[in-house]
Amino acid sequence: MSSYWSLTEQEARDLIYILLYSMRTDRAVAQAVTALREFWETIQRCDEHAPSSRDRLLISVLDARRLNPDWWRLHLISSSDVLYQCDTCGRLQAISIRAVCPRYRCLGTLKEVQQQDLEPNHYLLLYGESDMGRLRVEEHTAQLDKEKAREFQREFKEGKTVIWAGARAKTIAEE
């Protein structure tokens, strides 16, 4: 399963049941199920009347749906922000809902952690640098015309392209 929030109906149901189980009261479960059903139906109605697919909150992905990336909003996490780490899978989260890990099929509990208390992590250190540098990625396929392929090869050898993907890319990079 990918790390994206493109859950199938069963996976979403399992996550909801884990959340509801953590509440452990019949009344809360019934209210939550009703609220989630109404929320889902409202989103579906709004998406049905959206002027275009770009205006929809959810987009179809195979037999599931996921949040439309055009609606995502990101913010930087500062070193003073509280993070939550799952005591089972180790995944970090920026928010915690009743300390339930949102990772599919993980029954772990989220624990509050401070960024400075985490083990050193290559990506955390890399993203924390003020100047990460530019990253350029090109795909090398047989569908490229010869001139464009040569240009990508030259730029890769000169260090202008950092990542180069394709069957022939590994061979040329080793030369």
pLDDT digits (tens, 9 = 90+) for 38-89: 988 999 899 999 998 888 998 888 888 888 888 888 777 887 889 999 999 9
In a domain, 77, yes or no: no
Question: Is position 2 within any domain?
Answer: no
User: Could you tell me the residue range of the domain that residue 58 belongs to?
Assistant: 9-71
Amino acid code (one letter) for 108: G
Instruction: Tell me what pLDDT residue 5 has.
Output: 61
Nearest to 33 by CA among 55, 49, 17: 17
Q: What local confidence, expressed as pLDDT, does residue 173 receive?
A: 42
Does some domain include residue 91?
yes
Q: Are the C-beta atoms of 65 and 50 separated by less than 8 Å?
A: no
Does the residue 155 lie in any domain? yes
- Whether residues 67 and 88 share a domain: the answer is no
> What pTM does this model have?
0.46
Based on the fold, state whether residues 107 and 146 are members of the same structural domain.
no
Task: Tell me whether residue 171 is exposed, middle or buried, using C-beta atoms within 10 angstroms of its C-beta: 0 to 12, 13 to 18, 19 or more.
Answer: exposed
What total of structural domains would you count in the chain?
Answer: 3
In a domain, 95, yes or no: yes
76 domain residue, yes or no: no
pLDDT for residue 172: 43
- Contact yes or no for 22/100 (Cβ under 8 A): yes
**Cα–Cα distance measured from residue 58 to residue 44, given in angstroms and rounded to the nearest whole number:** 8
Question: Which regions in the chain score pLDDT beneath 70?
Answer: 1-5, 23-26, 130-142, 161-175
